[in-house]
Structure formats: C-alpha cells, structure tokens
Structure 1
C-alpha cells in the first residue's frame, strides 16, 4: 500500500510503503519515486502508526532483534534494525532467493568473511564536501576496502551456483591502489609512518636527534646536580623536557618553570642549557604536524575521488551481511524457504511459533485461502488460540522480509499488502476506553483498508460486551471481511460462532485440543472441528458434586446440548480417524520395508546364482582349454614322430571338432528387465557354401540331417556339424545337386571312405563295387579307399577296378597328410 507523504513544488508526489519498500529501491529524484497521486480519508500518520502497532503486536520487532544478532557488521545491524516486510511480489521472491543462496553456502560450512569492515559513510560524507579525515578514519577506509575485496574473492571462488550473490560481488570495486596508498602512509594502529613522505622522514630524523641531545644534556645535569633535584629523572611538561628541582634550589638551577607539585616543594624546570634545543624540538614538532596534515589532505582527496565506489561497496557489503544474517537465523530456527504467491493462499506444514523454545513449542498445520478464506477457532483459554494467530501473522511478515519460516518443506505463503491484527487488550483510562471500546476502535480502523490482499487476525472477536450482542456483532464483522475477500482468522468463545462455519462455504471451524484427563491443553489445532465447552467435565474432575452439575445442565438449552453432542461426536470421529490413519501408515511402512527386504534378497540370490554358474562354466572352460592344449602338444609330437604309421589328417580334424563341441558356452549375465533375443539362424540347404567356424575352413552343405545338424564336406572330409558352428556364405549350383534332392535310399547315409585292410582280394573287390554304388547314390563327388601298403596286391586290385569302372573319372594316391600310398582317392561322376 502506498501512502502519500509529501507534495513537491513541481506538483509531483512522493510515496513510501507501509511495510518499508525503501524509496531508494525505485528510480526517482530526491531518492523517492513518483506515481499517480492518491488521497486517503485519514491522515498519513494515523495509517503508519496503525501498521507499526500491528508489527509490534505480532512481536515482529523481537524477530528483527534476533536476526540482528547474527549480523557481522554495524552496517548490517543498522540495516536490519530498519527492516520491514515488503509488499511487492518480485521483491519478496528475490529476498527469499537471496536467503536461500546464503543458506546453501552456510550448509557447506562456509562463511562470508566480513571482518575489518567499518561504517565509513560519515567519513565519506565529510570528504565529499572537502573535509579532511584523520589517520584513524583513513585506515578504516583502507580496512573496509580490504574487507570488501575479501568478500568479493570469497563469492568468486565459490563452485556453487549463486547467481544473486555473484552479481552483487561483481559490483564491488577492488580499489587496490587507494588501499595501498593509505597503507604506505598509515599503519594498522592509525599511526603515520615515516615512509609517508621523504620530508616527514627527515623531520622525524631531526626530532630524534634533538630529543637525544636534550636527554643527554639533562642526563648530565642530573649527575652533577643530583642533590638539588627531588628525583634524578627526566620528565615532560607542556611538551618540553624538564627536571624536578627542589624549591630552595630554584635560583641555583635557573631556567623556566613549567609546573610544580601539589605541595609546592618541587618545581618542574627547563634549564637554560636546553631551552634552545627544546625550542628547536618544538619547531620540528610543528613541522611534523604540518607535514602530516598535508599527507592526510592528500589521502582525503584520493578517497574523495572514489566516494561513489566506496559508498556502493558499503551498500553491497551491508546487503550481503543482512542476507547471511537472515540465512544464519533460518538455520537457528530450522526454517525452510516458503513458496510465495499473490493469490492469498497460506499452507504451512508443522509450523511453529519462532519465539517459543523449540523444546516446548507444538507444531500445527495451517491452510487458508483456497477452499475457504476464513477460519474460526474456538476452545478454552490458555489453549493456544492466540499463539496460533500470532504464529500465522508472524510467519507471513517473516516471509515478506526474506526470512525463512519455522516449518517443514513445501510451505506456501502469500504476499499481503496488509497484515492487520486485533490482539490483546489496549484499554485506556485516560481515553475512557473499555476493553470492548478498545477492540472496536482497532476494528473500525482495520475495516477502512482491508481488501483481497489483506490478512486479518481477530482475537476474541466481539468480547467485552453482552454475549448475545457480541456474537451477533462478531458474525456481522466476519461477514463484512469475507465479503471483501480478505483472509481472516478469528478466535472466539461464543457458542453461536461454533455453528457459523457450517452455514458458510468460505468459513472453516477449528479448535484447540483439551485433554480432559489431565485438565491441560495440548495446544494442537484441529481443523474442521469447533471447540466445545468443557466446563461440566472439568468441574466433575475437580470434584464438584454430580447433583450440582446435573442441575446446571438443566439450564442449558436443547440447541446448545445438540451442538455440544455434535462437536463431541466430531471429536471422537476425528480421534478415531487419526488413530486409524496412524495404524494404516504403520502397516504400509512395514509392508514397504518387507517388500524392500524381499526384493533385495531376490537380487542377492540371483547374483549369487549367476556368480556360481559363471564360476562353474569358467572352471569347465579352463579344464577343456587345458585338455586342448595338451592334446595339441601330443598331436604335434606324433606328427614330428611320423614313421611307418601315417596319421590321418581328417581323423585329427574330426577329433579336434569333437573336442570343440565339448566346450561349454559361458553364460553372460543378462539384464532381467529385457529378455535376451536369440540370433535368428538361416536354414541351410544342400549345395550352400559355408565356413566351418571351428577350423576356419570353407566347405559345402551335403545334407540337412535335423534342424540343428548338417552333413558338410570340407576338403576331402565329410563331417556332421552343429548349425551354430556353420556360417552361411552363398548358394552354389553343383552337378550333384539334382541326385541329392531326388534320390532317397536305405543306404543313403554312407561314409566318405572305405577301409579294405585285412580283406582278401575277392571279398575286397565285392565290397568296393557295392561301396562305389552307394557313394554314387549318395551323390559323393569324391571318396577314399584305404587298402594299406602291405604286399601291394590289394592296392593293385583296387587300381585295376578303378580303371575299369565307368562311373569313376580318375584316381590318385593319397597325399602325405591323407595317408600316402596306403590310400587311393577316386573321383566319381
């Protein structure tokens, strides 16, 4: 709310905010800001006084006093003492963001360094109008420059994202040259250094020489005239070196008397022998002061040149000190950052009154401004109704001042133009105001300014007069406030207001809980349930006879009894619902914990199973690998030791393949969230070109034995291979393709070699003839006949048969790797 404070000569207007939006925050001349004029029915002073009274009633000044204790500089303390809540939404959001950034830094155990910073604004004002600063004031300026630079460096080195504080730090001017100029002339104690100028160095050197000469002469004098002195010491009077001379030797010593003792028996005299030297010394002192004054004038001029930058530094440092003071206070009360809105909505979870000790305070939930705009709280005295009112109002003022509120995370508060409170008794004998009149005076003033941006707090609304009239007046006032869409919380004792909320959609009944067993309030706020009178129950617990209590009940009307019974039923339902909720919550928590335990055990079992599988498979793989290596070594030795017995290469290949087939496949751990996809395998057909992966050799498919097994030919070998060991290359058209696809017989499966060793020639030729027929039916292009070396008769018989058979194209002896002359390879057509 803007209040008219002054009409300027140019017919423009200056305004201030009731809650202290400072004029310097708005751009305008005369450190104010201009807006369209408004006119108020009441004098400005009355409105300002009323709002200051509201802040005092809600004890906001005590909050500010506590926050001020956390400020590190006099600048910050002074700024906090003048702090007021802001009514501008953007300003409040920025204040909360500032505090949140500082709180984040404080949580990391990092503190903004603000030592050595002074309020130098009076000194800056003096130098800006041509004044000269003292040495102490100059060193305060230097110290403040250093402190500002340390604060700036601290923020700049932060790794956290603090855009507001970083922006403020960038506005700080280092002013290192000015600081160095001051420090070259003045030390930390404010004493002018000899190095301030060459002239000052020379003057002080002469002063030390003269002082040495004076002391030397006076020291000699004390030795030769010790009997004429009260004490053999050299002292100073009126800035001149003197000796304590006995009164009776005044004429004998001669010189100038500067002082005498209280008894008059001792005179402090400057002997004639040192008068001239003392005069020279005094002249040197005058020259020293003149040079020091000249240096201070020079430093003051340098400071005057940077007045604007220094003032801005002080302003930024004070602001940063205030921000960190707010953050430290928020940590002290275990506060949280509220979400701000301009809809008049309040929601606080487990909110606590910030001025009550955390060990004693009772936290409560508050919600207002969404489904309902008014809360009527009933209940016994000392039950906590007034504390609840103050807590809500105080938290709103704190939030609008950039302070965190003592509540749990997720709270939301509104930015109000006014927070009005009618709390306490301000009756006055001088003004002839009773309790009722005092309340009505305050309420009348409040009703002049309330709107939808207003929070109104009424304590014991309508009290101090006839109950019936007071209740009617209270309901009428509430109706007026609700009609203006203001947010209102009111406490009352009137039973008529207990039913008030049931007839109005925007009003919610509430009460403070009272324990009948202990006759003590619990200070818990129960939303949705009006408070009931506990007079009869309390009286019975205190020992009042049942007869008197029953007689008293007979005077209570039926309507009142019905209301009390209804409230009692609501309380019982509320307590039962809370108890059931707690039980359900506990069961849910137990179920969730059990589920987590089972899930963790399942994952552990799966991991353990997979680990055991992998371990077993790796162990088997190592064993097979070792066997393979040993077998290869043995075979290599056999190859090297070949003599008469020839090793069949194709037999070695088949044996090696069998060894490979025995190797297990290591199970890779699969993601249980998605099923593993098997590689789609192409169905091979006879005649397809393939690669046998186990020996990395190309071959041809001869027959599909089953879905996963094929008969293939690799070189001269025909082997049965698993599909996973075959890689499809291409499709070929062979001349034997047709017979394979058309001829099916009982002798279809036949080996690619025939062993005739040990047979008689006639029997061998019969077997050879039948074998060739079977091979032709099978479609083999090439077969091997094993006849051995022996006498050579069987080999000759085989060769003659081969030359005479019409379906045998040609033949050749076996190569070294195939068996040599002990085998004949024939090609069929």
Structure 2
C-alpha cells in the first residue's frame, strides 16, 4: 500500500488539501489520512465533502477562522484554574465563531437535502457565557473598570495619582527650566525624569537614572515625585492582583461550560477537515464519484488532479469483471503513466 500511495503521489494530494485547513488539529487529520477501505465509510465521507461543497457554492465559504482550536487553552484551564487575558480572548473569539457557524448553516432552507452535516445546524449555544465575558471585557479586549468594585476603586486612585504626578512634574519643569536641555519629562528605566544639563546636575535634588551618550544631559528623577510614583507602583500592584483574581473568576465560569465547548469544538475541528476537502474539490472542479461493489471502474473525461487542467487531455476508461485488464501501448511521452495514475 505504501509503495502504491507513493507512486500515485497520494501525499501531494494531501499537501494540496492541507493548504485549506484553518487549524493544526485538522492539519494533523489530513496528514495522517489513509485511503478508506470500507464501502459505507467511503460513501459517507464522499457525501460529507460533496454536501459541503454544494453549500459553499450556494452560500459562500464557511466563516472558519485560523487557529480556533482551543484544546490547549481548555486543558490549561482544567489543570491550573487560571487563564491569561489572551487565553480568555481566544475563548471569546471561538464562542463568536460558534455563533457565526450556526448562522451560516441556518441559511440552508432545504435541510433535508443535507444528511451528513446535520450536527452543525444545532450546535450547543453558549450565549450566557458570552454575556458573562462581555460583563468583564470590553470591545478592545481589556478588562473593564467596572468589572469589580475593587478594580474600579484602584483604577480611580491610579488616575488621580497620575493627574497629581503630571501637575507636580509640570511645576518642576517650570522651576528648573534654566537647568534643562529640554523642557519635557522623559521615561528612563521606567522612571519619570527631567533632562538636566550636566553642569547643573547638582542643582536638582533627586536620583540619576541615565546619562546621554554625549554626557551633556543627566536624567534625574526629582525627589518631589518619588512618594507619588511609589504610591502609583503600589496601586499598580494592587491592580494586577485584582486583574488576576478576576481572571480566575472568568476561568471558573468557562470551566462550567468546558464539556459542551469541547463537544462543539470537536465538531468544528472536523468541519475544518471536511471544509479543506470541499474547498480543494471546488478548486479543481472535482465531482463526487459513484461508488459500487460490482468491481466496475468507469472514468468519463477524467483528469489527474495534480496536472494542469488546461493542458492535460481527459480520458475515458472502463474496466469490469468481464474486462479486468486494459493494454496501453505507445511512445514514451507520459500518456500511459498519466492514465495509470489517474
């Protein structure tokens, strides 16, 4: 079987299909795909590809997005009980994808004509979880000030402290303007500094955090703002602790839906696999073959999928139990090989 598949360039076909997957999980399914040998399985898999191809042709491509397989994130949530904001945003993106997929399949009016893709018409809904995430996270992907009373209070304090800091810095710049190379505040090593001329560095009380390459400017954090910046740092640490606490709450809420999310995810990952086959089939203008168990092969205007359809000559071929062999002769111009591989 291995030799036959290599000779028939089976792997090249898989590579072509793999160009249309959206997730690594579906890509792995394609890479490990072996030809089916069971008659019923062959019929079912062909029908899935054919039905989705028809849907795509009728309603446009599916709304699948890249890297939606959140298996690792769900595993992390179960193991640690904590997801980062980036992880939570991926969960939200995936849940929105569920809705888009559901909406896409709801376009189908005559569902009875689509047997194999019926599960996608009724994906489990997670609207309550989405609403919960929206309570905590804004449209920009940031945790809202109003997520908790504690966070609101901390951020309000930080805002006031920053306003106070800017006010004091403005006065300092005005006070020492004669000693400065530039009348502006700069950040050096995460500290608010003023650029003092080297000859006047002893005129400003504070801590030196940096010196310019020319050695003519010394960047000093004024003593007058150290208490304010220390308070801001303290509040920032409190903010981080509160954000982590909120993320733990969000993670716990996500885990209550883990089983149904995983169930939908399995369906959508397999849809990604079928979609890749269907998209490739549309690209090469393929048709679903009629499978039989009567030992009959009949090819009508068949073309090898890896050859340029505008250049390859279509072939007609018929074999059955009464005519199990065909003898092909002719010069070595590749025609016989094309027939065999097709």
Scaled by the length of structure 2, the TM-score of the pair is: 0.91
Cα RMSD, aligned residues only: 2.2
What's the offset of the Cα at 1:276? 0.5
- 5+ residue gaps, structure 1, are 1-49, 392-829
Among residues 72, 96, 100, which one is paired with 2:46 in the alignment?
A: 96
Q: Does 1:385 align with 2:330?
A: no
Aligned partner of 2:149 in structure 1 is 198
Indicate if the aligned counterparts of 2:138 and 2:144 stay in contact, CA closer than 8 A. yes
Equivalent runs, 1:337-736 vs 2, <5 Å: 337-391=288-342
Aligned partner of 1:165 in structure 2 is 117
- Distance (whole Å) between structure 2 residues aligned to residue 68 and residue 186 of structure 1: 35
- Distance (whole Å) between structure 2 residues aligned to residue 381 and residue 177 of structure 1: 67
Aligned partner of 1:186 in structure 2 is 137
What's the offset of the Cα at 1:299? 1.4
Aligned partner of 1:66 in structure 2 is 16
What's the offset of the Cα at 1:296? 1.2
- Distance (whole Å) between structure 1 residues aligned to residue 119 and residue 200 of structure 2: 77
Indicate if the aligned counterparts of 1:117 and 1:140 stay in contact, CA closer than 8 A. no
SS of the residue corresponding to residue 164 of structure 1 reads coil
Q: Does 1:211 align with 2:154?
A: no
What's the offset of the Cα at 1:344? 3.7
What's the offset of the Cα at 1:180? 2.1
Indicate if the aligned counterparts of 2:105 and 2:120 stay in contact, CA closer than 8 A. no
What's the offset of the Cα at 1:73? 4.8
- Distance (whole Å) between structure 2 residues aligned to residue 244 and residue 253 of structure 1: 10
Q: Does 1:265 align with 2:212?
A: no
- Distance (whole Å) between structure 2 residues aligned to residue 211 and residue 117 of structure 1: 39
- Distance (whole Å) between structure 2 residues aligned to residue 116 and residue 288 of structure 1: 33
What's the offset of the Cα at 1:125? 1.4
- What do the CA deviations read for 1:500-555 (whole angstroms, capped 9, x no partner)? xxxxxxxxxxxxxxxxxxxxxxxxxxxxxxxxxxxxxxxxxxxxxxxxxxxxxxxx
- Distance (whole Å) between structure 2 residues aligned to residue 54 and residue 300 of structure 1: 50
Q: Does 1:303 align with 2:303?
A: no
SS of the residue corresponding to residue 109 of structure 2 reads coil
- What do the CA deviations read for 1:449-489 (whole angstroms, capped 9, x no partner)? xxxxxxxxxxxxxxxxxxxxxxxxxxxxxxxxxxxxxxxxx
- Distance (whole Å) between structure 2 residues aligned to residue 163 and residue 123 of structure 1: 32
Aligned partner of 1:85 in structure 2 is 35
Q: 1:357 to 1:162 in 2, by over 3 A?
A: same
SS of the residue corresponding to residue 376 of structure 1 reads coil
Q: 1:257 to 1:55 in 2, by over 3 A?
A: farther
What's the offset of the Cα at 1:313? 2.0
Aligned partner of 2:286 in structure 1 is 335
- Distance (whole Å) between structure 2 residues aligned to residue 54 and residue 261 of structure 1: 70
Q: Which is greater in Rg?
A: 1
- Distance (whole Å) between structure 2 residues aligned to residue 245 and residue 343 of structure 1: 93
- Distance (whole Å) between structure 2 residues aligned to residue 136 and residue 254 of structure 1: 42
Indicate if the aligned counterparts of 1:73 and 1:114 stay in contact, CA closer than 8 A. no
Indicate if the aligned counterparts of 2:69 and 2:269 stay in contact, CA closer than 8 A. no
Q: 1:136 to 1:343 in 2, by over 3 A?
A: same
- Distance (whole Å) between structure 2 residues aligned to residue 78 and residue 260 of structure 1: 54
What's the offset of the Cα at 1:79? 3.5
- 5+ residue gaps, structure 2, are none
SS of the residue corresponding to residue 230 of structure 1 reads strand
- Distance (whole Å) between structure 2 residues aligned to residue 370 and residue 380 of structure 1: 28
Indicate if the aligned counterparts of 1:75 and 1:119 stay in contact, CA closer than 8 A. yes
**Which protein is richer in helix relative to its size?**
2
SS of the residue corresponding to residue 231 of structure 1 reads strand
Aligned partner of 1:114 in structure 2 is 64
What's the offset of the Cα at 1:96? 1.1
- Distance (whole Å) between structure 2 residues aligned to residue 192 and residue 262 of structure 1: 40
- Distance (whole Å) between structure 1 residues aligned to residue 281 and residue 70 of structure 2: 29
- What do the CA deviations read for 1:537-587 (whole angstroms, capped 9, x no partner)? xxxxxxxxxxxxxxxxxxxxxxxxxxxxxxxxxxxxxxxxxxxxxxxxxxx
Aligned partner of 1:278 in structure 2 is 229
What's the offset of the Cα at 1:163? 2.6
What's the offset of the Cα at 1:78? 4.4
**Which protein is richer in strand relative to its size?**
1
What's the offset of the Cα at 1:187? 3.4
Indicate if the aligned counterparts of 1:117 and 1:144 stay in contact, CA closer than 8 A. no
Q: Does 1:242 align with 2:206?
A: no
SS of the residue corresponding to residue 108 of structure 1 reads helix
Indicate if the aligned counterparts of 2:22 and 2:66 stay in contact, CA closer than 8 A. no
- Distance (whole Å) between structure 2 residues aligned to residue 174 and residue 357 of structure 1: 44
Indicate if the aligned counterparts of 2:46 and 2:288 stay in contact, CA closer than 8 A. yes
- Distance (whole Å) between structure 2 residues aligned to residue 259 and residue 180 of structure 1: 48
Q: Does 1:141 align with 2:96?
A: no
What's the offset of the Cα at 1:289? 0.6
Identify which of structures 1 and 2 has the higher relative contact order when contacts are C-alpha pairs closer than 8 Å and 6+ apart: 2
